[in-house]
């Protein structure tokens, strides 16, 4: 038998993100808490990372302005999550690279996110810059805005 260990990245529906979104980002909260405002908009993109046909990573890209970093073409990254057993193996970085490629093809020049404090080193490694100071998101914890100009 041949065992494949290659990560495959593709665009998926919002609901297909839930098996990773829920345990990693909404642990002990109902499945309804996995739905984000804007999930089903035509401009929204959902990325799935698959390993041997099982989903191991997800991220969502929403067309949204940031209140301080102004760019008409801006997108926001939300719902970035890698399953516990696959964290630290490069899957997150692959998703970010894939997201940036897709957005650049669309002419998007700014990608930003409300980064969990614990994820700041990851986004920094991916080339993102902090903006402003730490703020609290209810039921989730401390965050900071991070961004990258795409070109
Ligand atoms: C944060 C998260 C998305 C990162 O994805 P990942 O697949 O684990 O990260 P990668 O393996 O692709 O790491 C890419 C780089 O960032 C570094 N990195 C990742 N997490 C890090 C951490 N907590 N501290 C320091 N460096 C870190 C890696 O060492 C790697 O560096 P390298 O390129 O020099 O090898 C993932 O760990 C996760 O889902 N965490 C829980 C949910 C979460 O916090 N989501 C973000 C919400 S804003």
Give the distance (Å) from ligand 1 centre to CA of residue 119: 6
Give the distance (Å) from ligand 1 centre to CA of residue 91: 8
* CA separation, residue 51 to residues 16, 40, 89, 96, 98 (Å): 14, 25, 12, 17, 16
Give the distance (Å) from ligand 1 centre to CA of residue 24: 13
Give the distance (Å) from ligand 1 centre to CA of residue 1: 32
Long-range contacts at 28-36 (CB < 8 A, ≥ 24 apart) = 29/139, 36/60, 36/62, 36/78, 36/79
Give the pairing of strands 75-82 and 110-116: parallel
7-106 is a CATH 3.30.460.80 domain: no
Closest residue CA from atom 42 of ligand 1: 81
Q: How does pLDDT run across 63-77, given as a tens digit for each residue?
A: 999 999 999 999 999
What does pLDDT average to over the chain?
95
Q: How many CA atoms lie within 13 A of 107 on its CB side?
A: 2
For the four alpha carbons of 51, 62, 17 and 117, in that order, the dihedral sign comes to positive
Q: How does pLDDT run across 90-114, given as a tens digit for each residue?
A: 999 999 999 999 999 999 999 999 9
Confidence of residue 5 (pLDDT cuts 50, 70, 90): confident
Domain boundaries, the chain: 7-106
**What is residue 40's predicted lDDT score, i.e. its pLDDT?**
97
**Total residues belonging to the chain:** 151
Give how far the C-alpha of residue 29 lies from the chain's centroid of Cα atoms, to the nearest Å.
19
C-alpha to C-alpha distance for 32 and 22, rounded to whole angstroms: 9
Pick the atom of ligand 1 nearest to 83's CA: 39
């Amino acid at each position: 038998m041949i065992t494949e260990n290659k990560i495959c990245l593709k665009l998926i529906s919002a609901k297909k993100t839930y098996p990773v979104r829920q345990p990693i980002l909404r642990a002990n909260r109902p499945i309804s808490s996995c739905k984000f405002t804007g999930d089903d908009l035509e401009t929204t993109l959902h990325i799935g990372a698959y390993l041997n046909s099982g989903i191991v990573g997800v991220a969502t890209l929403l067309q949204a302005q940031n209140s301080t970093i102004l760019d008409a073409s801006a997108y926001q990254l939300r719902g970035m999550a890698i399953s516990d057993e696959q964290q630290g193996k490069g899957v997150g970085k692959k998703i970010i690279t894939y997201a940036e490629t897709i957005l650049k093809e669309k002419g998007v020049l700014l990608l930003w996110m409300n980064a969990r404090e614990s994820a700041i080193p990851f986004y920094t490694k991916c080339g993102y810059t902090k903006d402003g100071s730490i703020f609290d998101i209810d039921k989730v914890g401390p965050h900071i805005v991070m961004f990258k100009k795409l070109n």
